[in-house]
Amino acid sequence: MKSVAILGASKDRAKFGNKSLRAHLAAGYEVLPIHPKEAEIEGLATYPNLGALPHPVERISVYLPPPVALALLPEIARAGAREVWFNPGAADPAVLAEARRLGVAAIDGCSIVDLGLSPSEFP
pLDDT tens-digit series, residues 85-108? 999 999 999 999 999 999 999 999
**Angstrom distance (rounded) from CA 43 to CA 22:** 11
Could you tell me the CA-to-CA distances from 111 to 25, 68, 83, 87 in Å, in that order?
13, 19, 10, 7
pLDDT score for 81: 97
Model confidence, pTM: 0.95
Nearest CA to 119 out of 15, 2, 12, 39 is that of 15
- In the chain, the number of structural domains is 1
Residue type, 58: E
The CATH number linked to 50 is 3.40.50.720
| Chain mean pLDDT for the chain | 97
Domain of residue 7: give its range: 3-121
pLDDT score for 62: 98
Count the residues in the chain. Answer: 123
| Mean pLDDT within 49-56 | 96
Burial of residue 114 (number of CB atoms within 10 Å: 0-12, 13-18, 19+): middle
Could you tell me the CA-to-CA distances from 87 to 40, 64, 65, 70, 95 in Å, in that order?
22, 9, 10, 14, 11
Residue type, 118: S
pLDDT band at 1 (very low <50, low <70, confident <90, very high): confident
